[in-house]
């Protein structure tokens, strides 16, 4: 049984302890997942910070406008991330090409 780190669960059966171009598949997949996750966490934190600033503005118009701007930017970021994903799925549906599946052919 082959237990290489780059071959686990990615359909790479001929890797035998040697790094190959096929090892880029799990690397790219994990990097993309990490970037998307960090983006979602950052947008959530922006919403929280904007909400707290809005609550604690104390009637100061400058602080209130800054808080509204932060919340607006967070919502726009969420919408952009969602639309980007929907566009990718739409392309995948119309063309039949799996653009969300990163593979390197041999």
In a domain, 14, yes or no: no
pLDDT at 39 over 70: yes
Residue 3, in any domain of the structure: no
- Count the neighbouring beta carbons within 10 Å of the beta carbon of residue 87: 10
**CA–CA gap between residue 53 and residue 78 (Å, rounded):** 19
> Tens digit of pLDDT for each residue in 67-95?
999 999 999 999 999 999 999 999 999 99
Give me the number of domains the chain comprises. 1
**Within a domain: 44:** yes
For residue 46, give its domain range.
27-95
**Residue 59 domain flag:** yes
Average pLDDT over residues 26-38: 90
Q: Which residue has the tokens 């653009």?
A: 99
Mean predicted confidence (pLDDT) in 38-53: 94
Q: What is the pLDDT of residue 69?
A: 95
Tell me the pLDDT tens digit for each residue of 3-20: 455 655 555 555 566 777
- DSSP reduced 3-state for 58: coil
> pLDDT at position 81, please?
93
């Amino acid at each position: 049984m082959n237990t290489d780190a780059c071959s686990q669960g990615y359909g790479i059966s001929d890797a035998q302890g040697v790094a190959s171009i096929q090892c880029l598949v799990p690397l790219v997949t994990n990097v993309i997942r990490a970037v998307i996750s960090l983006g979602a966490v950052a947008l959530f934190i922006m919403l929280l910070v904007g909400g707290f600033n809005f609550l604690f503005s104390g009637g100061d118009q400058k602080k209130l406008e800054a808080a509204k701007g932060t919340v607006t930017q967070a919502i726009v970021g969420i919408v952009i991330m969602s639309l980007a994903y929907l566009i990718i799925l739409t392309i995948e549906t119309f063309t039949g090409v799996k653009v969300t599946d990163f593979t390197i052919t041999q």
